[in-house]
């Protein structure tokens, strides 16, 4: 997969100081959570990203040349116990999660480059007396290739998806029909 890396990021690779960061976007049903691996709140492309600093860790994102399904793991540590309700109450499974790469150019955050996109899968919480660690496993979108697709080429199935569509009304009649191409039908008398 080719990624479009912003020109300003490519140009800043030659700078004496390169300040990279990662950002995480979790699209829950009721809200979107955006955090990044620095301190403070930054605004990128009109969206605010809350700084999580060293509290946020992202596993290495692997990309291979063959078609393989590699996921990612995101951890938030030192979370106050009162914020666990959000993690426990939201319907997260199957929701989109994205990991981005960015850097600072002239003291300002650059445009983000999406390096991973997948579906939230498993949420594990380790809790002690004062704080908690939340670990979220994210499945690669290629996991969809392993899911069965159930579809039938019947008139009934087609009408269940698109009422009034008659495109497959005569498919059943065609199953045992003999067709003769390029000459007269040998079964008819001339």
Residue 167: domain span: 150-183
Same domain membership, residue 128 and residue 38: yes
Tell me whether residue 190 is in a domain: no
Q: What is the SS3 assignment for 10?
A: helix
Same domain membership, residue 164 and residue 98: no
Q: What is the pTM of this model?
A: 0.66
Phi-psi region of 172 (alpha: psi -120 to 50; beta: other; left: phi over 0): alpha
Is 32 within 8 Å of 25 (Cβ atoms)? Answer: yes
Tell me whether residue 1 is in a domain: no
Confidence at residue 83, expressed as pLDDT on a 0 to 100 scale: 61
Question: Any bridge partners for residue 124, and if so which?
Answer: 135
Residues of the chain with pLDDT under 70: 1-3, 6, 62-69, 80-83, 86, 143-147, 189-190
Same domain membership, residue 104 and residue 166: no
Phi-psi region of 44 (alpha: psi -120 to 50; beta: other; left: phi over 0): beta
């Amino acid at each position: 997969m080719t990624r479009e890396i912003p020109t300003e990021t490519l140009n800043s690779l030659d700078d004496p100081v390169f300040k990279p960061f990662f950002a995480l976007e979790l699209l829950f049903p009721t809200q979107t959570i955006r955090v990044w691996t620095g301190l403070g709140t930054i605004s990128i492309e009109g969206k605010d990203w809350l700084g999580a600093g060293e509290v946020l860790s992202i596993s290495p994102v692997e990309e291979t040349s063959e078609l393989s399904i590699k996921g990612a793991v995101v951890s938030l540590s030192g979370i106050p116990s009162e914020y666990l309700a959000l993690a426990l109450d939201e319907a997260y499974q199957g929701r989109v999660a994205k990991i981005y790469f960015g850097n600072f150019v002239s003291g300002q955050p650059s445009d983000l480059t999406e390096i991973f996109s997948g579906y939230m899968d498993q949420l594990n919480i380790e809790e002690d007396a004062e704080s908690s660690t939340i670990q979220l496993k994210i499945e690669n979108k290629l996991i969809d290739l392993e899911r069965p697709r159930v579809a039938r080429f019947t008139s009934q199935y087609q009408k269940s998806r698109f009422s009034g569509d008659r495109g497959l009304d005569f498919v059943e009649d065609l199953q045992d029909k003999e067709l003769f191409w390029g000459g007269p039908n040998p079964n008819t008398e001339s």
